[in-house]
Structure 1
Amino acid sequence: MKWPSLIVGVLAAAVALAPPASADRDIDFARELHTYGIYGQRDHNAWLAKIACKRLDRGVDDNAHEAAAFVHTNLDGDSSTEQSWQFLAAGLRTYCPHQLGQLDAASRP
């Protein structure tokens, strides 16, 4: 009889201590962008990141350099090159983590 109550206690503790799941990746993405000083409409920024992922997936952009240039062209005019790369990295982490190797490849000479 002790096992069922022990299992229930462990499950209850696991649920109570689990980090809250985010309801919306777009909101988390926007929050990360804000840490880099990148603002703008949340939906537009999420759309841009998802398009950058699709362009890499489909080979429209062959590498992260081309993807960052695409992002830079479509961000606000005041955005720096550094912010374009930060945006791309955040977008890949959020929407297409399978493309993160593109960033590693771009960092090599």
Structure 2
Amino acid sequence: MRRVLMGIAAAALTVGALGTAAPAMADPDTDFANELHVYGIYGQKDYNAWIGKIMCKRLYTGVDKDVFATARFIQMNMEKGTTTEQTYQFIGAGLRTYCPEKLPVLDAARQS
């Protein structure tokens, strides 16, 4: 589990660094959906964006105390068959897209 989390945290930072040259008129929900497709995560764009935004709100308000609680929330709201790796990829993409200041929760989880 830690290796998966460490790899995803590294990928989150790498993909985030590569994606910094976005056009000024970019739609974050579309960008989020496109990134999820890279990980094999599909579903309705609006639903996934909604879950990503709720995920951030849960982190801001303290409902989820750590990324593991966030992962349980995401797993409960994703399609059956979503892997643990995809769950953490969703979290990384959601953090980068909707609440980048919360990215340190991935590093905190990796260190625990």
**Residue in structure 2 matched with residue 63 of structure 1 by the alignment:** 66
Q: Which has the higher contact order (CA 8 A, sep 6+)?
A: 2
**Number of paired residues?**
92
TM-score where L is the length of structure 2:
0.78
User: Contact 1:26–1:43 at 8 Å: present in 2 too?
Assistant: yes
TM-score where L is the length of structure 1:
0.80
User: Contact 1:29–1:46 at 8 Å: present in 2 too?
Assistant: yes
**Bigger radius of gyration, 1 or 2?**
1
What stretches of structure 1 move > 3 A for 4+ residues in a row? none
Structure 2: unaligned runs, 5 residues or longer? 1-20
Structure 1: unaligned runs, 5 residues or longer? 1-17
Tell whether 2:86 aligns with 1:83. yes
1:22, distance to aligned residue in structure 2 (A): 3.9
Tell whether 2:54 aligns with 1:51. yes
Match for 2:35 among 32, 41, 44?
Answer: 32
Letter in 2 for 1:102: V
1:46, distance to aligned residue in structure 2 (A): 0.2
Q: Which deviates further from its counterpart, 37-46 or 18-27?
A: 18-27
Question: Measured at CA, do residues 42 and 69 of structure 1 come closer, stay the same or move farther in structure 2, by a change above 3 Å?
Answer: same
